[in-house]
Structure 1
């Protein structure tokens, strides 16, 4: 008997798959902009976008810009929910699903849309490649085939980036282990070298013993030089740094991504830094996905004029460092039932303060991603004004 998978479970798998790519959306235009330009040229349309759709937002990449809109305003969100391999709408202003969208209803709004889902080998659709035009038109079967090939090319590039990142993170982890071994080896080797030097200076057993001890000393010094090489290779240092952030850089990325969505709802978004270890660097892996889901959730459930506060701090406990993330908002809080669903990693749909639609997957997804980084997740008890989430993730 085939087990049926619920829509909520499918959607959770989909957005979790997207989070595994650990994409820096605002940095993708350089790599994928030419593909969107080519898509618009093939279709003969004004513009094309690579759209990636998470639990709350559509992140749009083109050759000349990067933007995001709420997911409920996205045409591509409808495209990826369909079983078809494309969606075409000629007359967006006449379609009940889209005619009220701001970019459609204005006088010079878009009229034509063609979108192809970005479907992974495992089946999940993480977004779409689309073309848009302000005039009504149609495209040929040949043009459609080329656009589908471009969509496959995008998926291939994204899959390759994910595999490269996984290998790089594995290399970084191995590098840290090797460096630790090198440090551990240096102490004993220095002791051997020092002992050999001492014994050489003591005329205990004659010339033959001195020659033997000389060999020990040279061998030990050779090992020391080898460990220095392991610790100081510039290429490895560069690779490691490419995946590291400090909390000031993390703060800037959060504000860059979410200041406009918060401002659109007239919310105050404050990201503050605390503590004495602000220059400590750490892996950025999944951090923007974790914090982004928390901030997006706060935006959704906080009424106009409210505020969202994010506090970032590096904590030191003995020889270990932890990144502490505190996110709070002035919304209505979360019920005991909703809190239990989050703790059980169970989706629960609800509308935002402006009627925003969602699958209720953001906080369960955050909890799972934090667990994948061996961190701790805590959320305030139900029926308290506002929602408060505290996360600690080991970083060193």
Structure 2
């Protein structure tokens, strides 16, 4: 069964559980800078193992951000995401559930009995989740097992699931270490290219000087000096050719702009557009909101570091969907300006939603906004826009907000890149 686009929002009167260290928890998740849609291969063996150990039909590895629960790996069900307030794992990440959270019958629990995955196929009953903790306090999400019938897990099986959850966290840390290493390699290559560029001038000067001396040398009969200078000239040209080779290696200079294929730790405007479509179209379809994304030319294929951009735009898009009524539209414009050696990313998220008052805008930009409900009663957690503002400031960027109550909102995110 394809659950990806079939999970409809339900009205839940209970306030969502929020860990006391929620901002620190979300920042820890953001610091890993994970691509939620590209992790299944890393964890597929662990979700399958968890289901086999527990004897359940379903196992999931879920990461929970400000608005959404992302199923980065699944076994026994095809699901990628659901609203955070609809999830069971939101209870598992609470500090008091460090040893696991168990629900013997979801259909008899007031918190979960009306959930679509309980009342409709696959008619789930049993749940057991282990928090994915990067330290004693911060849980990124949960490893959970679910079943459509009653289950009872022994202490030994629960302990084995804890071990699997620990391995999930280890692989997340390894993923971050590899990503950091790739960024370091990229920075090293950039330094290498700059050094090669810097030596062109001095070596070119040596060659020019050698040519002048060589031109004047016949009248002075400096045969031995000329031979030596000829060697300098030859060596200098060789180094200059090497510098040119380093500068042009694996690059296609088109219109004065350096172009190449993006690496694993990079986006282009085009690849970012497709990623955002995959991630947030299900939310927009569920809310019956039209989501339009545009990557503008001519720099749509120029690579740039991922560097938490997915987390920033993801929170802005989720927020706009949340506060746009059914039948509305959310537009996302991805643009880049190239000035000499600097790139400037310019992203806009524009919606036809309920709008924001000037007082609320000032509160957001101060980093002190509080939670509010969406147009369909979606629960708010009060951290999404705080997080966006914090991340943008950390990247030396700017967040601009234009809005009037009832007239929609436009968020603009400007980020300079060296």
TM-score (norm: length of structure 1): 0.91
Distance 1:331 1:164 in 2: 40
Which residue pairs with 1:271 in the alignment?
A: 293
Q: What displacement does 1:238 show?
A: 9.1
User: Pairwise mapping of residues 36-47 of structure 1 onto structure 2 (< 5 A)?
Assistant: 36-47=47-58
2:306 aligned to which of 273, 281, 284: 284
**Residue 78 in 1 paired to residue 100 in 2?**
no
**Residue 365 in 1 paired to residue 387 in 2?**
yes
Q: What displacement does 1:319 show?
A: 4.5
**Residue 162 in 1 paired to residue 173 in 2?**
no
Confirm or deny: 8 A CA contact 2:332 2:350 kept in the other structure. yes
Confirm or deny: 8 A CA contact 1:58 1:69 kept in the other structure. yes
When residues 83 and 136 of structure 1 are mapped into structure 2, their CA distance, relative to the original with a 3 A threshold, is same
Distance 1:292 1:266 in 2: 18
Which residue pairs with 2:222 in the alignment?
A: 206
Q: What displacement does 1:8 show?
A: 7.7
Which residue pairs with 1:69 in the alignment?
A: 82
3-state DSSP of counterpart to 1:113: strand
Distance 1:108 1:298 in 2: 30
User: Pairwise mapping of residues 1-396 of structure 1 onto structure 2 (< 5 A)?
Assistant: 10-60=21-71, 61-63=73-75, 65-84=78-97, 85-106=99-120, 108-121=122-135, 123-203=137-217, 204=220, 206-228=222-244, 230-231=246-247, 241-381=263-403, 383=405, 385-396=407-418
3-state DSSP of counterpart to 1:269: strand
3-state DSSP of counterpart to 1:132: strand
3-state DSSP of counterpart to 2:80: strand
When residues 113 and 238 of structure 1 are mapped into structure 2, their CA distance, relative to the original with a 3 A threshold, is farther
Distance 2:406 2:398 in 1: 21
When residues 264 and 384 of structure 1 are mapped into structure 2, their CA distance, relative to the original with a 3 A threshold, is closer
* Residues 206-234 of structure 1, C-alpha deviations (whole Å, 9 max, x = no match): 12212332343244245335534644666
Q: What displacement does 1:263 show?
A: 0.6
Q: Which runs of 5+ in 1 are unaligned?
A: 1-6
When residues 161 and 80 of structure 1 are mapped into structure 2, their CA distance, relative to the original with a 3 A threshold, is same
Distance 2:122 2:265 in 1: 43
Confirm or deny: 8 A CA contact 2:203 2:236 kept in the other structure. yes
Q: Which runs of 5+ in 2 are unaligned?
A: 1-17, 252-258
Q: What displacement does 1:363 show?
A: 1.4
TM-score (norm: length of structure 2): 0.86
- C-alpha RMSD of the superposition: 2.4
Distance 1:234 1:150 in 2: 41
Distance 2:241 2:363 in 1: 56
Which residue pairs with 2:7 in the alignment?
A: none
Distance 1:342 1:217 in 2: 63
Confirm or deny: 8 A CA contact 1:51 1:58 kept in the other structure. yes
Confirm or deny: 8 A CA contact 2:397 2:413 kept in the other structure. yes
* Residues 321-350 of structure 1, C-alpha deviations (whole Å, 9 max, x = no match): 211101111111112332222112124111
Distance 1:347 1:38 in 2: 42
Confirm or deny: 8 A CA contact 2:19 2:95 kept in the other structure. no
Distance 1:215 1:320 in 2: 39
Distance 2:240 2:346 in 1: 38
Q: What displacement does 1:369 show?
A: 1.6
Distance 2:272 2:34 in 1: 14
Distance 2:79 2:222 in 1: 77
When residues 9 and 96 of structure 1 are mapped into structure 2, their CA distance, relative to the original with a 3 A threshold, is closer
